[in-house]
């Protein structure tokens, strides 16, 4: 039986979390390649640990452009410096960076390049399933639990970078539990914030530094009871980041997407160029789901697509409006296919994904962001609204 009244929780992690450090380095390398060759093929993984970063993966450019190991190593250092790591156990200048990135296997390229393999069109680079989601509970059309979790950490990072709150260090996590009535958020049941901090900062001081940030993020009157407001509940948190725990690319896929409010196909985004449907098709399904909700056709929408390696068009397109739709879901699915070419090339062309726009996606979520004049977050646009209304009615 469907529950209309419930509690739900999402979490986020800051840019200095070891897994997010890895994601940002991997995406900085994707951008580095796309800057030199927009058709580059990139699959790069990053490991972070105490004063060490390891890069691995395979890459290919198609225009003769060369990206050296030294350039990739410098990109890693630049990311860590921008985050703000200058600690004994993890320092952008002192850390050892090892690069094991090599050329792409010819067998992987076979069948996924346009004009090769069994099909004339460019095929998907791998099989897989991808999901997109949107809900009308926030202006961003995202789950409120995740939006607030991200915003708390973004504000903390901004205060740290500005120097206004030097007590904060880069590594941090947040968790927000909301109470829902009739599937709408009506209040906060609990807030958890754990932040790495200077040795000199006391837990009492940190609690009071975090309090106004949380109050600023939450709607008025939503601050939880004091016994449900947790700041560094395990105590001291001075050793953090990659010095405190190893980080890997792609381990925060729920933070990256919908905070657990929607299914996830399993594939990570960071470190992959946009020819990889793990990334591009997940962006496309978010774009389509968001337009369905923004058009008023549903209050919630989940879209799934599936691909086979070497095959251009998706094998299936599934739409679920969770009982909130104003049109038949099969008709919505058919209309979406008419409006949007879901082939890998079609997605990249429509959303302009062959640009170096990925470094900014690797922390605080890939969705619910504001499209930029620089071509970032194009999948957050709602430019299909009029067509959807016209074709569905």
Rounded Cα distance between 51 and 376, Å, is 31
43, HSE (Cβ side, Cα atoms, 13 Å): 16
The residue from 131, 237, 367, 377 that is catalytic is: 237
Residue 15, annotated as binding a ligand:
no
Residue 337, annotated as binding a ligand:
no
Respond yes or no: is residue 8 known to be catalytic: no
Residue 277 has pLDDT above 70, yes or no: yes
Residue 2 has pLDDT above 90, yes or no: no
CATH class of the domain at 128-136+249-257+273-392: alpha beta
The residue from 165, 197, 251, 299 that is catalytic is: 251
The pLDDT of residue 107: 56
57 neighbors 47 (Cβ within 8 angstroms): no
Respond yes or no: is residue 246 known to be catalytic: yes
Residue 171, annotated as binding a ligand:
yes
Residue 346 has pLDDT above 60, yes or no: yes
Respond yes or no: is residue 2 known to be catalytic: no
Of residues 108 and 310, more confidence is placed in: 310
Q: Tens digits of per-residue pLDDT, 25-60?
A: 999 999 999 999 999 999 999 999 999 999 999 999
Percent of the chain with pLDDT over 70: 94
Respond yes or no: is residue 19 known to be catalytic: yes
Respond yes or no: is residue 252 known to be catalytic: yes
Of 196, 242, 198, the closest CA to residue 95 belongs to 242
Query: In this structure, what are the phi and psi dihedrals at residue 112, rounded to the nearest 5 degrees?
Result: -110, -5
Q: DSSP letters of 153-188?
A: HHHHHHHHHHTS-TTEEEEEEEEEEEEEETTEEEEE
**Quick check: pTM over 0.85?**
yes
Q: Tens digits of per-residue pLDDT, 130-175?
A: 999 999 999 999 999 999 999 999 999 999 999 999 999 999 999 9
Residue 208 has pLDDT above 80, yes or no: yes
The pLDDT of residue 117: 47
Residue 116 has pLDDT above 60, yes or no: no
Residue 197, annotated as binding a ligand:
no
- Give the pLDDT band of residue 389 (cuts 50, 70, 90): confident
Respond yes or no: is residue 389 known to be catalytic: no
Domains 6-13+143-240 and 18-109 fall in the same CATH topology: yes
Rounded Cα distance between 181 and 316, Å, is 34
The pLDDT of residue 112: 53
Residue 22, annotated as binding a ligand:
no
The residue from 17, 150, 197, 290 that is catalytic is: 17
Going from N- to C-terminal start, the domains of the chain cover 6-13+143-240, 18-109, 128-136+249-257+273-392
The residue from 41, 60, 160, 252 that is catalytic is: 252
Respond yes or no: is residue 58 known to be catalytic: yes
Residue 58, annotated as binding a ligand:
yes
Rounded Cα distance between 243 and 91, Å, is 10
Residue 106 has pLDDT above 70, yes or no: no
Respond yes or no: is residue 36 known to be catalytic: no
The residue from 173, 197, 299, 348 that is catalytic is: 173
The residue from 15, 19, 37, 243 that is catalytic is: 19
Rounded Cα distance between 108 and 349, Å, is 22
Residue 17, annotated as binding a ligand:
yes
The pLDDT of residue 312: 87
One CATH from 3.30.300.10, 3.30.70.60, 3.40.50.1980, 1.20.120.550 for 6-13+143-240: 3.30.300.10
The pLDDT of residue 334: 93
Residue 334, annotated as binding a ligand:
no
What are residue 6's DSSP bridge partners? 180
Residue 45, annotated as binding a ligand:
yes
Of 368, 375, 376, the closest CA to residue 151 belongs to 368
Over residues 98-108, the mean pLDDT reads: 81
The pLDDT of residue 118: 44
Respond yes or no: is residue 369 known to be catalytic: no
- Give the pLDDT band of residue 1 (cuts 50, 70, 90): very low
Architecture in CATH for domain 18-109: 2-Layer Sandwich (3.30)
88 neighbors 45 (Cβ within 8 angstroms): no
Over the Cα atoms of the chain, what is R_g?
22
């Amino acid at each position: 039986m469907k529950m209309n009244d419930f509690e739900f929780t999402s979490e986020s992690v800051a840019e200095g979390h070891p897994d997010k450090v890895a994601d940002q380095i991997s995406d900085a390398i994707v951008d580095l390649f796309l800057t030199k060759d927009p058709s580059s093929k990139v699959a790069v993984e990053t490991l972070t640990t105490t004063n060490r970063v390891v890069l691995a993966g395979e890459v290919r450019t198609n225009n003769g452009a060369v990206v050296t190991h030294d350039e990739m190593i410098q990109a890693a250092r630049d990311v860590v410096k921008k985050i703000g790591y200058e600690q004994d156990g993890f320092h952008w200048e002192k850390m050892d960076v090892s690069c094991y990135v090599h050329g792409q296997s010819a067998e992987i390229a076979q069948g996924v390049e346009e004009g090769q393999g069994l099909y004339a069109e460019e095929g998907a680079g791998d099989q897989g399933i991808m999901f997109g989601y949107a809900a009308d509970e926030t202006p961003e059309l995202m789950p409120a639990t995740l939006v607030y979790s991200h915003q708390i950490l973004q504000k903390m990072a901004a205060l740290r970078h500005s120097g206004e709150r030097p007590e904060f260090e880069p590594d941090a996590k947040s968790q927000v539990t909301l109470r829902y009535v009739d599937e709408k958020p009506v209040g906060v049941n609990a807030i958890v914030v754990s932040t790495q901090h200077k040795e000199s900062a006391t837990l009492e001081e940190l609690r009071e530094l975090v309090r106004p940030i949380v109050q600023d993020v939450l709607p008025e009157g939503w601050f939880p009871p004091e016994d449900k407001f947790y700041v560094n509940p395990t105590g001291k948190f001075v050793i953090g980041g990659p010095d405190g725990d190893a980080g890997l690319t792609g381990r925060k896929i729920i933070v990256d997407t919908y905070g657990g409010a929607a299914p996830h196909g399993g594939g990570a985004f960071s470190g992959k160029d946009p020819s990889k449907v793990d990334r591009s098709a997940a962006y496309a399904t978010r774009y389509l789901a968001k337009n369905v909700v923004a058009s008023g056709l549903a209050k919630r929408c989940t879209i799934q697509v599936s691909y086979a390696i070497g095959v251009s068009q998706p094998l299936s397109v599934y739409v679920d409006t969770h009982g909130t739709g104003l049109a038949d879901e099969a008709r919505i699915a058919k209309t979406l296919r008419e409006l949007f070419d879901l082939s890998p090339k079609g997605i990249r062309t429509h959303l302009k994904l062959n640009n170096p726009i990925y470094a900014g996606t690797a922390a605080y979520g890939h969705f619910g962001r504001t499209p930029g004049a620089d071509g970032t977050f194009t999948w957050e646009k709602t430019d299909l609204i009029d067509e959807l209304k016209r074709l569905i009615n």
